[in-house]
């Protein structure tokens, strides 16, 4: 299990993998964690491959459950955790789960708290499996996979954060009270 090819195959099939920095394999997409003590090895695609290609040829990409709500939750997590927009979203700042639920409720026009909480936790579980977020008992933060977003992607993502700025302010303000 030492050759770069074997590592590559492993993360392509198993998803992002966290290893001590000393074990990092050159040539793989990585994201440093915990001030550089650990590194995430990330499954990367060659240029022109990936989900966008699948969508182009009309082959359904991997389905999400409740895709729209899950993406909304992801957008909310992004706008709450990405504090320094001059850099990339990784590693970002952790955010309280309750704050996240509040922000989601604000986005959805102050719906029922209970249903918002269940939607958010369902979405977070899905996102965690794919490495889009990392869950800790009380907090949530962006997952290592966000490091794979390209510079072009980030332009649009900043746009999302601008759109949701009021929600961010409101949620963080309510949480502070």
Asked whether 142 and 80 are in contact (CB, 8 A), the reply is: no
Q: Does 93 bind other proteins (CB under 8 A)?
A: no
Q: Does 165 bind other proteins (CB under 8 A)?
A: no
Asked whether 158 and 43 are in contact (CB, 8 A), the reply is: no
Q: Does 123 bind other proteins (CB under 8 A)?
A: no
Footprint of other proteins on residues 22-51 (CB under 8 A)? 43, 45, 50-51
Cross-sheet strand order for the sheet of 139-142: 95-96, 139-142, 133-135
Range 2-10, long-range pairs (CB < 8 A, 24+ positions): 4/28, 7/41
User: What count of other Cβ atoms lies within 10 Å of the Cβ of residue 25?
Assistant: 17
Helices and strands (DSSP H and E) totals, the chain: 7, 6
Q: Does 61 bind other proteins (CB under 8 A)?
A: yes
Binding mask 145-164 vs other proteins (x if CB under 8 A, - otherwise)? x---x---xx-xx-xx--xx
Q: Which of 8, 19, 33, 94 binds other proteins (CB under 8 A)?
A: 8
Footprint of other proteins on this chain (CB under 8 A)?
Answer: 8-9, 12-15, 43, 45, 50-52, 61-64, 67-72, 74-76, 78, 107-109, 126-127, 129-132, 145, 149, 153-154, 156-157, 159-160, 163-164
């Amino acid at each position: 299990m030492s050759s770069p090819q074997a590592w590559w195959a492993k993360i392509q099939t198993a998803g992002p993998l966290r290893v001590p920095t000393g074990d990092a394999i050159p040539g793989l997409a990585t994201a440093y964690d915990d001030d550089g003590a650990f590194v995430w090895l990330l499954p990367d695609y060659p240029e022109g491959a990936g989900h966008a290609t699948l969508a182009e040829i009309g082959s359904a990409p991997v389905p999400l459950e409740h895709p729209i709500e899950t993406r909304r939750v992801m957008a909310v997590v992004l706008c709450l955790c990405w504090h320094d927009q001059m850099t990339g979203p990784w590693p970002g700042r952790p955010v309280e789960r309750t704050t996240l639920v509040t922000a989601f409720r604000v986005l959805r026009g102050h719906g029922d708290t209970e249903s918002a909480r269940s939607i958010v936790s369902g979405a977070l579980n899905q996102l965690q499996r794919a490495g889009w977020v990392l869950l800790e008992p009380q907090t949530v933060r962006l997952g290592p996979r966000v490091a794979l977003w390209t510079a072009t992607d980030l332009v649009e993502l900043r746009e999302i954060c601008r759109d949701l700025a009021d929600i961010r302010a409101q949620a963080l303000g309510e949480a502070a009270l």
